[in-house]
Amino acid sequence: MRNLTAAFLLIATAGVAAETPDLTMQTRIRQEEFRNSKVMEIASGLMDFVGARLTGSPNMKRANEWTRDKLTEFGLSDAHLEPWGPFGTGWSYESCSLRLLSPDVVQLWALPRAWSAGTTGPIRGSAVKVKLETKEDLEKNKGKLAGKFVLLGDTPELKPHEKAQYQRYDEKSLADIGQYQIPGGTPPRFTREEAVRRRAFNRALLPFLAEEKPLAMIVPGGGDYGNFHVQGAGSYRKAEQYPVPSVVLSDEQYGRIARLIDQNKDPQLELDVRTHDYPDAQTFNTIAEIPGTDKRGEVVMLGAHLDSWHGGTGATDNGAGSVVAMEVVRVLKAIGIQPRRTIRIGLWSGEEEGLLGSRAYVSQHFASRPEPPEEERDLPSAFRRNTGPLTIKPEHAKLAAYFNLDNGTGKVRGIYAQENAAVVPIFEAWLDPLKDLGANTVTMRTTGGTDHLSFDAVGLPGFQFIQDPVEYSERTHHTTYDVYERLQRDDLMQAVVVMATFVWEAANRPDMLPRKPLSKADMEGSPSPGLRPPSPR
């Protein structure tokens, strides 16, 4: 009996070669990055020189061209822009001034929401406060908003910050992340039904506003100390353009005007906002390669989304991931590697609008599904359903792995195995020489919200790293202060070394990374959400 077990173990383990990380390469990667890093230089180029990168805007195109030229300069091959789309309407703003004219004169801190209309010169009028959340609210307010500035929503209540505004994972929180969470255990913040209802309401709001003709819609920014969130209004789709000007205002100033309205002081506002629309905007991903040698037909991809919102310069979301990925390929070229597999970088656009660029790339290269019906679009990715059968292309068999970085400036603490048990021991072996850099956790958990999902959704091994949160959700994510100063140099350099290690190992191991099996529902499309559940973060 004992002998049989031993024999069985021998057979069972014989097929799995021990994963031995390349320590010489580890030293070379560290030497290049820790002594000759260009990551902050690339970061300044992208954030200071190019700036914010809203998909479909002229700046996004500049970012695509700038990254393509940089990657060429680093010595990569075939750096090019790959078009995707149709996207819809591009948008940018030139200037925005919102002032309180009475009972006091004040310059306010406001920025336009993407895809909202501009004004033709300054417009002036009274401000009112309404709630527009349901179709009944629209009925109730019919005929009341014309010629008014409309404050949409409650007066924010701001409390002092009791906790630190930044976070690094400690051993306990990493141990928690390392524990798998059985899906459905914790109820989501809102349900799919609620997401569908909100989407339907937001569409119904557009013709109401077009008819009603308020001067502008003003929303609170959801921040404090002058920092606020800026995203979009309506949509980039032709039929869903926001028909009136709409601005985000800092919470403290929104509160002041809201109180003046409550006290019947009839606050007067003036808005002058200049915006530009670019109908049928062309959209691109930036792609470049380090060609492989004996296995050059197989590809290891790394990437991040290059697009951003327009309140800051998209430094932590996701300039950070983009410049780390660019620095990874620069380092690998600089030390003159000859990878067995081809290494390909993808810098995606359209991520903020629903992973559009990476989904299009996956459809064009690896596997596609029929376009989702109207009601599925714009739902958070965790609620989206697989629509119809998967058509698999030949390149699907050739992608060894995709590694994504998109959770801010924080250093890498490990990686989500995305429920792929077979990669866990492999990743653990690769992390072994990276322990002294704080990266040592492999979790079976999935994580969502970014471009590795586009690969995962069609059965390709796509992964996102675990990163220290730093100030991401508290301060920088989609805010006016998502700028270069919030990038942490040491964290980015560490992330470069970890990502370069993973890319190198994946490009050189004897076999491609093991994949999760594609279920029947994955292949045929299913009525249940097609993408994996989101992580609790």
Q: Which residues bind Zn ion (CB under 5 A)?
A: 317
CA nearest 231: which of 105, 59, 115?
115
CB contact set of 101 (below 8 Å; sequence gap of 6+)? 124, 268, 269, 270
Task: For residues 401 and 515, give the distance between their C-alpha atoms in angstroms, rounded to a whole number.
Answer: 9
User: Considering the complex, what minimum distance in angstroms separates the CB of residue 477 from Zn ion?
Assistant: 6
Nearer Cβ to Zn ion, position 358 or 386? 358
User: Considering the complex, what minimum distance in angstroms separates the CB of residue 235 from Zn ion?
Assistant: 16
Task: For residues 493 and 330, give the distance between their C-alpha atoms in angstroms, rounded to a whole number.
Answer: 13
Nearer Cβ to Zn ion, position 240 or 317? 317
Contact 251, 223 (CB under 8 A): yes
* In the complex, residue closest to Zn ion by CB: 317
CB contact set of 147 (below 8 Å; sequence gap of 6+)? 125, 213, 214, 215
DSSP H or E run through 43 = helix 39-44
User: Considering the complex, what minimum distance in angstroms separates the CB of residue 321 from Zn ion?
Assistant: 10
Task: For residues 496 and 49, give the distance between their C-alpha atoms in angstroms, rounded to a whole number.
Answer: 22
Task: For residues 366 and 530, give the distance between their C-alpha atoms in angstroms, rounded to a whole number.
Answer: 17
DSSP assignments along 379-400, one per residue = S-GGG-B--S--EE-GGGGGEE
Taking the CA atoms of 193, 195, 196 and 202 in sequence, report the sign of the dihedral they define: positive
Task: For residues 325 and 329, give the distance between their C-alpha atoms in angstroms, rounded to a whole number.
Answer: 7
Say which residue the tokens 């990266």 belong to: 439
Nearer Cβ to Zn ion, position 135 or 477? 477
Helix ranges (DSSP H) in 352-451 = 356-365, 424-431
Nearer Cβ to Zn ion, position 21 or 354? 354
User: Considering the complex, what minimum distance in angstroms separates the CB of residue 304 from Zn ion?
Assistant: 11
User: Considering the complex, what minimum distance in angstroms separates the CB of residue 317 from Zn ion?
Assistant: 4
Nearer Cβ to Zn ion, position 317 or 451? 317
Nearer Cβ to Zn ion, position 33 or 317? 317
Contact 345, 304 (CB under 8 A): no
Question: Peptide bond before 318: cis, by omega within 30 degrees of 0?
Answer: yes
User: Considering the complex, what minimum distance in angstroms separates the CB of residue 478 from Zn ion?
Assistant: 6
User: Considering the complex, what minimum distance in angstroms separates the CB of residue 33 from Zn ion?
Assistant: 26
User: Considering the complex, what minimum distance in angstroms separates the CB of residue 76 from Zn ion?
Assistant: 26
Nearer Cβ to Zn ion, position 252 or 317? 317
DSSP assignments along 253-314, one per residue = HHHHHHHHHHTT---EEEEEEEEEEEEEEEEEEEEEEE--STEEEEEEEEEEE----SSS--
Nearer Cβ to Zn ion, position 32 or 317? 317
User: Considering the complex, what minimum distance in angstroms separates the CB of residue 307 from Zn ion?
Assistant: 9
Nearer Cβ to Zn ion, position 289 or 406? 406
